[in-house]
Amino acid sequence: MLVLLPPSETKAPGGDGPPLDLPGLTAPELTPVRTELVGALATLAGDVPAARAALGLSPAQDAEIARNAALRTAPTMPALQRYTGVLYDALDVGSLTRAQRERADRRLAVGSALFGLVGAGDRIPAYRLSAGSALPGLPTLRSLWKPALGPVLAGFDGLVVDLRSGSYAALAPVPGAVTVSVLSERADGTRAVVSHFNKAHKGRLARLLATTTAEPGDVVRLRALLRRAGLHVEHDGGPSLTLVVPAG
């Protein structure tokens, strides 16, 4: 089972790992695109106003541009520790046992605008690049990633659970992947799309999938696994599941 997570805009600073080793990342066949994007970001960082415009940053966020300038030399840390925010707080990898962390490292990966696909244990530096960014002189990120990343994801032999947000899923859709939407249900039975806490629910879901000893092979078995864990999950017969949570 492969669980695809969205990245986060916020990244933990620092690290104690060696500088970025692009061929050493998961799916080394993505190295040419990664190399092109790392070079473009580092070059763009030399023109701060242009970098702000391309990345949608304010002057108060110039430290993000400095991070991009140092991509090739900055210290690294495992991806699951580098990404921060609501989803990763709920995932809480720091509290996993050794055995659970080993399973998480095998099953979890992050969709990245810069690296395409990052394994849970891949060591990466802090950076700033979003799926919707447009880098001067380059095609769109979707145009770059879809022909390279699409075959990598399509070639995975097993169940893929795609928890990426829409903009990152669009970089390289995975045919047949299970997707999960989150709805809140009020006491009167009415429902609404969860927005603010969507990432937290998906983070807890990712933690469950990363640590279970079960190995569901299809959406029906996945639904059964989640229901045994006490989750209210509905399945309409397609490749998508709906997680229903109490309102509030």
Q: How confident is the model at residue 233 (pLDDT cuts 50, 70, 90)?
A: very high
| pLDDT for res 247 | 87
Q: How confident is the model at residue 25 (pLDDT cuts 50, 70, 90)?
A: very high
For 104, list phi and psi in degrees, rounded to 5: -60, -40
| pLDDT for res 138 | 96
pLDDT at 196 over 80: no
Convert the pLDDT of each residue in 48-91 to its tens digit.
999 999 999 999 999 999 999 999 999 999 999 999 999 999 99
Convert the pLDDT of each residue in 143-195 to its tens digit.
999 999 999 999 999 999 999 999 999 999 999 999 999 999 999 989 999 87
Burial class (CB in 10 A: 0-12, 13-18, 19+), 158: exposed
- Percentage above 70 pLDDT, the chain: 100
| pLDDT for res 194 | 84
pLDDT at 248 over 90: no
| Separation in Å, CA 187 to CA 197, 234, 248 | 18, 18, 10
CB 128 within 8 A of CB 67: yes
Convert the pLDDT of each residue in 132-149 to its tens digit.
999 999 999 999 999 999
From 180, 247, 245, 178, select the one nearest 218 (Cα to Cα): 178
Rounded mean pLDDT, 16-28: 98
β-pairing verdict for 123-124 and 77-78: antiparallel
Q: Which amino acid is at 143?
A: S
How high is the mean pLDDT of the chain?
A: 96
